[in-house]
Amino acid sequence: MADQTWTWPKHVRSALHTPLWSCCAPSVSGLGPVRVTSSGGCRLPDGGKAGVVPARPGRIERTALAAEPGRVRVKSCNEGICDGNAGTGLYGSSAPLVGSGPPSQCDWDAGGLAVANPDATQRSPNSGIVAELEAMALGGLGDAEYVRGRMISAYDRFRECVELSERHGFGRIEVANRPMMAFTQWFAGDTRGALAVADAAIDRAARVGHRRAEMVGHHAAFFCRHALMDFEGACRDAEAALTLAQQLGARRFETEALVFQAELHRLAGRRAEALANAEEAVKISRDTSIAFLGPFALGALSLASDNPTARQAALEEAEELLRAGAVSHNHLLFPRDAIEVYLEADNWDCVERAVAELEHYTRSEPLPFADFYIARGRALAACGRGQSDMAELAAELERIHDEGERLGIRVALRGTETAISQLRR
């Protein structure tokens, strides 16, 4: 079994040597979370620098990383197929190692990435191996961009990963990454397109028994259907996501499904049920990894509660968690919900503060999702203050309303429609 060494592509080398993220990954066969260091390597809980390698079917082992920076050694071998549910990515999206063949043993870097890009003279006879490593790398880079909050860049990487995997028949890699392609596509402003991708992800994951990917597909589908006000379909996604999380024993993902159910109860006027779901979501988040979904759950709790003191406590705790360091989706989803809470309370100063925080977080890569909620929050706060030119403000709200329709964020348009009606009187 000969070793072969190739040079990492320039864009991958750049990514691996940038302090990107510390992933909150699920444990991999008892090893615990893998953390990415600022030098681009992996660090396991025992302090050893190691990679995660499937050596035999159903087994995860450790191996030393390649010593030479920017290079990866791949052993040509047909053994060992990962079951696709373990992984080092945030959602496990870079976990599956084998779609339809080798390699099964690699030296890994950057949270489970193994990448090679030989020139034309090196491609034969291992071009399939190279393409598979490139697909895995793209999925890992998508995870990295996701955790940085750069959702458009993350979408581009996940899309490239899925397209490459489809071309070469790397089924498990494609299935694992397609749900994250949908999720980031929604953030990037294409709700309808993301829903189609999410539904395809659910179907393909269910067909191959990849329950984690199926669950994440339902997460993405819920956000899309909720945004489009298909609440019946969103309810089915929430129920399926909760069932799958329970089957997997993935309690931190129960938090997400419970938040979904809390939101649907709230929109239907069932405040007591919404509050119960939100409280349970926060409790599970505290028991598992509060940095993963804690602020999102606390935002749902603040929306569900009609107790001003409890609302404020939830908002303040979430803000503190964001300052301490929480996973990227919290920095996008919590401000959205906080803006809504403050609008309901006529607290215009806090609306503008939440808007400013969302704007600051997305400054390095502006995001249509965030830009919509930023503009909406500012316009509705100005309307509430009654200190702007009413005709100009009405025109701005109509522009925001049209943008929400284009993006597929219909669930947020009721407030703009009410404000426009009031201004036009």
Residue 234, pLDDT above cutoff 70 = yes
What confidence tier does 130 reach under pLDDT thresholds 50, 70, 90?
confident
Least confident of 198-202, 271-275, 381-385: 381-385
Domain residues for the domain of 60 are 1-222
| 195 token code pair | 């829903």
Quick: pLDDT tens for 294-341: 999 999 999 999 999 999 999 999 999 999 999 999 999 999 999 999
Report the residue count for the chain.
425
**Looking at residues 127-136, what average pLDDT do you find?**
87
pLDDT at 129: 85
Backbone angles phi, psi at 129, to 5 degrees: -65, -45
Over residues 160-210, the pLDDT tens digits come to: 999 999 999 999 999 999 999 999 999 999 999 999 999 999 999 999 999
Mean pLDDT over all residues of the chain?
77
Q: How far apart are CA 107 and CA 42, in angstroms?
A: 11
Task: Please state, in angstroms and rounded to a whole number, the distance separating the CA atoms of residues 107 and 115.
Answer: 10
Residue at 314 is within a domain: no
Determine the average pLDDT of the residues in 287-293. Answer: 95
CA distance 259 to 296: 8
| Domain-located, residue 333 | no
Which structure tokens are listed for 344?
């309901």
In a domain, 325, yes or no: no
pLDDT given at position 343: 97
Average pLDDT over residues 26-48: 32
The predicted structure's pLDDT at residue 424:
81
Q: How far is CA 128 from CA 118, 139, 346, in A?
A: 12, 17, 59
Task: Calculate ∠ Cα 73-77-78, nearest 5°.
Answer: 140
Collapse the DSSP code of 369 into the 3-class scheme (helix H, G, I; strand E, B; otherwise coil) and give the result. Answer: helix
Which of 207, 222, 237 corresponds to the end of one domain?
222
Share of the chain above pLDDT 90, in %: 66
Residue 229: inside a domain: no
Q: Supply the pLDDT for residue 222.
A: 98
Let me know if residue 274 belongs to a domain: no
The answer on pLDDT for 228 being more than 80 is yes
Cis peptide upstream of residue 103 (ω within 30 degrees of 0):
yes
pLDDT band of residue 126 (cuts 50, 70, 90) is low
**Residue 173: which of 207, 132, 117, 212 has the closest Cα?**
132
User: Beta strands of 289-423 (E only): which ranges?
Assistant: none
Name the band, by pLDDT with cuts 50, 70 and 90, for residue 127: low
| Nearest-angstrom CA–CA distance, 50 and 197 | 34
- In a domain, residue 320? The reply is no
CA distances for 284 relative to 177, 212, 278, 287, angstroms:
26, 18, 10, 5
Whether the pLDDT of residue 242 is over 60: the answer is yes
Both structure tokens of 30 = 């008892």
Residue 72 has pLDDT above 80, yes or no: no
Question: Residue 65 in contact with residue 109, Cβ under 8 Å?
Answer: yes
- The confidence band for 369, taking pLDDT boundaries of 50, 70 and 90, is very high
Residue 236 in domain: no
Domain boundary among 222, 250, 278: 222
User: The tokens of 298 are what?
Assistant: 């606390």
Q: Going by C-beta distance under 8 Å and a sequence separation of 6 or more, which residues neighbour residue 262?
A: 273, 274, 275, 277, 278, 281, 300, 301, 303, 304
pLDDT at residue 23, as a whole number: 28
Tell me how crowded residue 392 is: count the other CB atoms within 10 A of its CB: 11
Look up residue 173 and give its amino acid: I
CA 243 to chain centre: 20
Q: CB–CB of 415/375 below 8 Å?
A: no
Does pLDDT of 371 surpass 90?
yes
Number of domains in the chain: 2
pLDDT > 50? residue 109: no
Whether the Cβ atoms of residue 125 and residue 101 lie closer than 8 Å to each other: no
Residue at a domain's end among 174, 205, 222: 222
Single-letter amino acid code for the residue at 384: G
Q: Is residue 106 part of a domain?
A: yes
Is 203 in the same domain as 351? no
Task: Give the three-state DSSP class for 240.
Answer: helix
- Contact at 8 Å (CB) between 86 and 60? yes
- Find tokens 């596509």 and name the residue: 185
> How many Å separate Cα 283 from the centre of its chain?
21
The pTM (predicted TM-score) of the whole model is 0.75
DSSP H or E stretch at residue 72? strand 71-75
